Structure 1
Amino acid sequence: MKALTATADDRLITLAEITDPAPAAGEAVIEVEAFSVNRGDYFALAGVYGTEVVPGHVPGQDVAGRIITAAADGTGPAVGTRVVAHAAGGGWAEQVAVATDAITALPQQLPATIAATLPLAGLTALRLLRRAGAVAGKRLLVTGASGGVGHLVVELAIAAGAIVTAVAATRERGQRLADYGAEVLTDIDAATDRFDIVLESVGGDTFAAALRHLAPGGTVVWFGQASRQPVQLDFFDLFGATPFTLHHFPHWVADTTDAEDLAELVRLAAAGIIHPEVGRIADWTETATVLTDLVHRRIRGNAVLTLA
């Protein structure tokens, strides 16, 4: 079968012939119809994270398609079922083997191009709000809000009754968030409120600025560092928020399975409660270009690649 494999050079990826997946007993094989890509995929392929890039490795977590081989242990969907899945790699290929506890069925009305945006961004958004606790009536600040996670967490928070302020790079990138009912800022220091909860994903100076606007006793959930700039804090600067709680949040730590949370996200998307923003849909042969455009913020929201 064909797959996009890492090159460990400036090309990032190349289209190659590889062997078909050999699933374990608790895995099903999905024929991939669409997958989405994230800025983190680019950073991993470019070696930004400091981990070795292995030539021939097939990246890819967010996939939608159809089951062509059911799991040998009897778990998971049957052959022919349309599904969305959070793969542990290998998703940028014509077929991928995925553990059945990371696969959920799709209703007919939800296109693969929308479903493919849900795994990483959706699981992160859903679990972020769980970590934040009860948000109804709370003032909530979301930084880096114009990306895939930001859009979903803003929608989910507003649906849960939060009063949301979203920080976006430009008013244009934040327009859809305003349409949902969020206040949109391009500069945190323009905020006139203090916030009960901060969801922070940028790092660097943005992290410090967000904490300066935290209400006393507030909660910060730190879930990313998109700027790739480390955080520097002044202890004396933060007395206005003291005492506060800081959570370092990894999206993969949860009391629920990916399949369970994906089922909830699918339900919300099918019901029109969340609306993943798809900024670009392209053929999967254009993945390298799309990744570059995504990391340089030439795509708003999610980028989805389709397989003929």
Structure 2
Amino acid sequence: MKAILPGSSATASDEPVILGEAAEPEPAGDELVVAVEAYSVNRGETFQLDGQLDRRWPGWRPGKDVAGTVLRAAADGSGPAVGTRVVAHPPAYGWAERVAVPTSSVAALPDSVDAVTAAALPLAGITALRLLRAAGPLAGRRVLLTGASGGVGHYVTELAAASGAEITAISATADRGARLLELGAVELLTSVHQAEGPYDVVLESVGGDSLPAALAQLAPGGLLVWFGQASRTPVTLDFFAFFNGPDQGAIRHFDYTVSDSTYGQDLAALVRLVAAGRLHPEIGTVREWSRTAEVIGDLRARKVRGNAVLTVA
């Protein structure tokens, strides 16, 4: 079958991926096979492709966000039947004509949610949902969100605003962040240094000097949830600065893979919200999958607002 394969070099300057041939998926007993119609590209996958994050599976190929139709049901009888339209979150290998996915990582799609919209949901949507659970009740609370113009940030903003939070969103440019105001942010800034705290909750995804600057805006007893390092720049914190900063402020490391719910359960919740008109995936570009390398380049250059979706011909 045709699939998107890692390029010959791990350096960002070379072609990151190529369209080639791969073996057909061999599903385990609790896995179904999806005929892929669309998939989304995430920044984390671009980091894996350029060698900045581990590739944890032998023969690794990228692809964690897919939507399509069940081609082969799971042998153990779990999950949707053949012919069911689904959205899925495989551990990898999803940028292909077909992919095997655990049934616990799949949710059925209603007719009102198309494959392109659904493909933008898995990684970014699940991360946003679980991030807000980690943050706790948000009604009436001030929230500072950095790196807000990506896929996760758009979901977090709309979901948190619907919960009654007052969100200050940080985006590199006003243009990239404009949609966040429409989704419920009360303030849009282009630098964390412009923020005026205190904030009850800080959701930090940039790293570098962004995290300590955001931490300084935390209210006494507040919570900073650290869920990414998009700048790829390490963070340096000064312990003694805490004496002039938030009293008893807490920093929590966030890992979206750790949850009491399955990926399938959270995908089903996201699909219900989209179908009800309560969640609106921000899709910055939709292109045919032969242009995946081009899209990766645009993501690295921060030219895409929200999610980037590729359609499989």
TM-score (norm 2): 0.95
Q: Which residues in structure 2 correspond to 1:76-87 (within 5 Å)?
A: 76-87=79-90
What is the match of residue 93 of structure 1? 96
**What letter matches 2:250 in structure 1?**
T
Q: Distance in 1 between matches of 2:288 and 2:30?
A: 30
Q: Distance in 1 between matches of 2:261 and 2:310?
A: 28
1:124 counterpart (123, 127, 130): 127
What is the match of residue 5 of structure 1? 5
**What are the ranges of 5 or more consecutive residues in structure 2 without an aligned counterpart?**
none
CA contact (8 A) 2:154 2:183 kept: no
What is the match of residue 275 of structure 2? 270
What is the match of residue 249 of structure 1? 254
Deviation at 1:189, TM superposition (A): 2.4
Q: Distance in 2 between matches of 1:293 and 1:85?
A: 24
Deviation at 1:244, TM superposition (A): 1.2
Q: Distance in 1 between matches of 2:191 and 2:118?
A: 32
Q: Which residues in structure 2 correspond to 1:92-111 (within 5 Å)?
A: 92-111=95-114
- Asked if 1:230 is matched to 2:234, the reply is yes
- Asked if 1:136 is matched to 2:139, the reply is yes
- Asked if 1:18 is matched to 2:17, the reply is no
**What letter matches 2:112 in structure 1?**
Q
Q: Distance in 2 between matches of 1:268 and 1:153?
A: 13
Q: Distance in 1 between matches of 2:65 and 2:279?
A: 17
- Report the CA distance shift for 1:57/1:8 in structure 2 as closer, same or farther (over 3 A): farther
- Report the CA distance shift for 1:67/1:52 in structure 2 as closer, same or farther (over 3 A): closer
CA contact (8 A) 1:58 1:93 kept: no
1:277-302 Cα shifts (integer Å, max 9, x gaps): 11110010100110110111011111
Q: Distance in 1 between matches of 2:123 and 2:42?
A: 8
- Report the CA distance shift for 1:243/1:263 in structure 2 as closer, same or farther (over 3 A): same
Q: Distance in 1 between matches of 2:51 and 2:123?
A: 20
CA contact (8 A) 1:47 1:53 kept: no
**Aligned residues: percent identity?**
57
2:180 counterpart (177, 181, 184): 177
Q: Distance in 2 between matches of 1:176 and 1:11?
A: 31
Q: Which runs of 4+ in 1 moved over 4 A?
A: 52-56
Q: Which residues in structure 2 correspond to 1:275-294 (within 5 Å)?
A: 275-294=280-299
Deviation at 1:185, TM superposition (A): 0.8
- Report the CA distance shift for 1:52/1:95 in structure 2 as closer, same or farther (over 3 A): closer
What is the match of residue 296 of structure 1? 301
The alignment yields a C-alpha RMSD, in angstroms, of 1.4
Q: Distance in 2 between matches of 1:60 and 1:261?
A: 18
2:116 counterpart (110, 113, 117): 113
**What are the ranges of 5 or more consecutive residues in structure 1 without an aligned counterpart?**
none
TM-score (norm 1): 0.97
SS of alignment partner, residue 247 of structure 1: strand
1:229-280 Cα shifts (integer Å, max 9, x gaps): 1111122322320201111001000000000000000011111111111111
Q: Distance in 2 between matches of 1:73 and 1:235?
A: 53
SS of alignment partner, residue 209 of structure 2: helix
